[in-house]
């Protein structure tokens, strides 16, 4: 039994803007709710408030059944966190605290082997048993076998950064779905998962009896799993009581209703103001009208004090202008190309204007292939070359740009880089405005949401004059609207596009596919292939 009750929550950003106001909704027992909204609308902030990471300025969050949280960064962990530490962090607070005490007393015992240290260690051990630590370790073993194919004892000291993004996500999901917490908050659980992984996730979420609130931009996953849709927009939240299939219609109807109510309020307000003005003139000439004038003034004051109904949320305006340019007829040629240890040699020719979906399982070498074409140093044999006037532009999967972390979008646009001239502040702001990033122009890159980082990367591609777009999971962090805008921009791009994607919706816009099979074979397909088995690697 688990539920989440959010009542009157308000949150203000450090710059004074109100991000969320009067947010109220309930996610009842066993409900699978999706939390949707445009990038930067406050979805992750709301999840952090529900998780207890942030204290709301007003309002309250009540919940029961134990809370398990999967944070957005899982999938891009690049520090020295081990599998063991990762699983501890996903455990209930009592298990986490007992583990930390056990580690601390063990360390103390190694430094000072006296009686108090031994008794503290023994006590921490007893506590570990009491809070269910041994049962947790049994669960972790099941989890690592399911997610990674190896027992816990064999992988517990392995660093998480040696796992792919999909493996990290799967490890977290297995731990939460098999763990004791009855309410799960999942922030983009499907990112980095390949399609079999997404199908697995859909099935597990359909089977679980836990209460789930998840943020996802995958339109297919939302359509299959969600039975409620909580929308964060216009600084507040509302709930659609059905699945995702009827959601766009419900949202449009709500927006129309809001616009209608606001229009009526404005008309009534105008009428009352006019009446007050007329009565004021009449009261000047006729003392009898003075009391009616005062009554009307009071009525207007009350009407204004009650305030207007909320305005219809503004539509997000993102205008991408990926222009490209004419190149040689052959854009990419590869002969007996083999990425060392990842695939068998293959030949391919990609023509100017082609839209090529690069598909296959995690770990099959797709990202390496794109990085090679982008000019990065990737071990390979065989030959490859780009055609005349082909200028590659690369969109990285994990937004792995450590050199950008402290720089602002305006700064990145101002300075330019080899192949991309810098632009002045005015042009930079105009470009950022087209991408819905004007308010983030002076924020460090690391503080942008995943979607904002993705949109900035696409803007940089636009400005680089690339004629060959190499996109590694470009829709992963984009909200549904921005993903559609990207699709439209790609449709109008004069050039060649190669995109690694696991987005089934996005893949429909491609006309040929290069499939990286789990057996190391690379082959062409006219249809999207999403059921390649997971690549088995030695562990």
Partner 1 sequence: MPDTAVLRTLPDDSIDAAARRLSDEFRDRLGPQYVRHIVQLARQDLSGVPLGAIPELVERLARTRLTSAA
Q: Provide the binding-site residues for partner 1, judged by CB under 8 A.
A: 113-115, 118-119, 121-122, 125-126, 128-129, 134
Closest approach of Cβ 400 to partner 1, in Å? Answer: 43
d(CA 182, CA 523): 44
Q: How far is the CB of 132 from partner 1 (least distance, A)?
A: 12
| Joined tokens for residue 474 | 């470009």
Q: Which is nearer to partner 1, 44 or 91 (CB)?
A: 91
Residue 84 Cβ vs partner 1, minimum distance, rounded to whole Å: 18
Which is closer to partner 1, CB of 118 or CB of 398?
Answer: 118
Phi and psi dihedrals of 251, rounded to 5?
Answer: -70, -45
| Nearer to partner 1 among residue 105 and residue 496 (C-beta) | 105
Closest distance between partner 1 and the C-beta of residue 460, in Å? 56
Count of residues for the chain?
A: 539
- Give the full edge-to-edge strand order of the sheet including 183-187: 67-70, 183-187, 211-215, 32-36, 228-233, 236-240
Largest CA distance in the chain: 99
Minimum distance, C-beta of residue 113 to partner 1, in the bound complex (Å)? 7
Collect all residues with Cβ–Cβ distance below 8 Å to 538 and sequence separation of at least 6: none
Of residues 133 and 165, the one with the C-beta less far from partner 1: 133
Interacting residues of 108 by C-beta distance below 8 A, sequence separation 6+: 117, 120, 121
Q: Specify the residue, 156 or 380, whose C-beta has the smaller distance to partner 1.
A: 156
Helix (H) or strand (E) holding 261: helix 247-285
Q: How far apart are CA 137 and CA 93, in angstroms?
A: 15
Minimum CB distance to partner 1 smaller for 129 or for 248: 129
Nearer to partner 1, 137 or 220 (CB): 137
Residue 124 beta carbon to partner 1: minimum distance, rounded to whole angstroms: 10
Nearer residue to partner 1 within complex by CB, 99 or 293 = 99
Instruction: Provide the minimum distance between the beta carbon of 115 and partner 1 in the complex, in angstroms, as a whole number.
Output: 5
3-state helix, strand, coil in the chain (%, to 5): 45, 20, 35
Q: Are 398 and 165 in contact (CB under 8 A)?
A: yes
Cα–Cα distance for residue pair 357/108, rounded to 1 Å: 55
Q: Are strands 58-64 and 3-12 parallel, antiparallel or unpaired?
A: antiparallel
Which residue lies nearer to partner 1 by CB, 54 or 94? 94
| Dist CA 416 CA 431 (whole Å) | 14
**DSSP assignment, residue 348?**
E
Q: Which two tokens stand for residue 54?
A: 């942030």
Smallest distance from partner 1 to CB 231, Å: 49
Please name which of 86, 46, 357, 34 lies closest in space to residue 220, comparing C-alpha atoms: 34
- The answer to whether 492 touches 156, Cβ cutoff 8 Å, is no
Closest contact distance (angstroms) between CB of 123 and partner 1 is 8
Q: Which two tokens stand for residue 466?
A: 């690339």
């Amino acid at each position: 039994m688990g539920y989440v009750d959010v009542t009157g929550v308000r949150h203000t950003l450090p710059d004074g803007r109100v991000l969320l106001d009067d947010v109220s909704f309930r996610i009842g027992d066993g409900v699978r709710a999706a939390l949707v909204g445009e990038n930067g609308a406050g979805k992750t902030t709301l999840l952090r408030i529900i998780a207890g990471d942030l204290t709301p300025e007003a309002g309250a969050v009540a919940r029961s059944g134990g809370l398990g949280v999967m944070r957005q960064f899982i999938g891009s962990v690049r520090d020295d966190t081990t599998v063991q530490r990762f699983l501890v962090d996903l455990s209930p607070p009592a298990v986490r605290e007992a583990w930390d005490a056990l580690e601390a007393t063990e360390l103390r015992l190694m430094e000072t082997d006296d009686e108090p240290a031994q008794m503290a260690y023994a006590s921490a051990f007893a506590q570990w048993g009491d809070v269910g630590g041994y049962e947790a370790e049994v669960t972790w073993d099941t989890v690592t076998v399911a997610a990674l194919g190896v027992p816990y004892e064999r992988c517990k000291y392995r660093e998480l950064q040696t796992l792919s993004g999909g493996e990290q996500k799967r490890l977290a999901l297995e731990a939460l779905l098999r763990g004791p917490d009855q309410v799960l908050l999942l922030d983009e659980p499907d990112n980095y998962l390949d399609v079999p992984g997404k199908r697995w996730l859909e099935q597990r979420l359909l089977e679980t009896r836990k209460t789930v609130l998840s943020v996802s931009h995958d339109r297919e996953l939302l359509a299959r799993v969600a039975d409620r849709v909580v929308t964060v927009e216009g600084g507040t939240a509302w709930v659609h009581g059905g699945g995702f299939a009827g959601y766009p219609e419900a949202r449009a109807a709500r927006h129309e209703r809001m616009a209608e109510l606001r229009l009526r309020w404005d008309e009534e307000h105008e009428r009352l103001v006019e009446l007050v003005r007329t009565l004021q003139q009449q009261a000047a000439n006729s003392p009898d009208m003075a009391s009616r004038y005062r009554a009307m003034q009071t009525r207007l004051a009350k009407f204004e004090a009650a305030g207007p109904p909320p305005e219809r949320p503004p539509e997000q305006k993102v205008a991408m202008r990926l222009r490209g340019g004419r190149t040689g007829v052959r854009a990419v040629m590869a002969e007996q190309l083999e990425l060392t240890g990842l695939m068998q040699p293959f030949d391919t020719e990609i023509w100017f204007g082609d839209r090529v979906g690069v598909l296959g399982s995690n770990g099959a070498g797709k990202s390496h292939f794109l990085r090679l074409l982008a000019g990065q140093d990737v071990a390979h044999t065989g030959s490859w070359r780009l055609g005349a006037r082909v200028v590659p532009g690369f969109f990285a999967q994990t937004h792995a740009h450590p050199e950008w972390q402290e720089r602002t979008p305006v700064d990145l646009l101002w300075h330019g880089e080899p192949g991309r001239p810098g632009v002045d502040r005015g042009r930079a702001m105009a470009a950022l405005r087209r991408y819905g990033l004007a308010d983030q122009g002076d924020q460090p890159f690391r503080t942008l949401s995943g979607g904002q980082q993705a949109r900035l990367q696409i803007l940089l591609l636009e400005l680089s004059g690339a004629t060959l777009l190499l996109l590694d999971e470009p829709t992963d962090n984009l909200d549904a609207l921005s993903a559609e805008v990207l699709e439209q921009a790609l449709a109008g791009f004069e050039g060649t596009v190669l995109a690694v994607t696991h987005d089934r919706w996005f893949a429909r816009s491609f006309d040929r596919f290069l499939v990286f099979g789990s057996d190391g074979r690379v082959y062409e397909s006219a249809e999207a292939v999403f059921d390649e088995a997971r690549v088995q690697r030695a562990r």
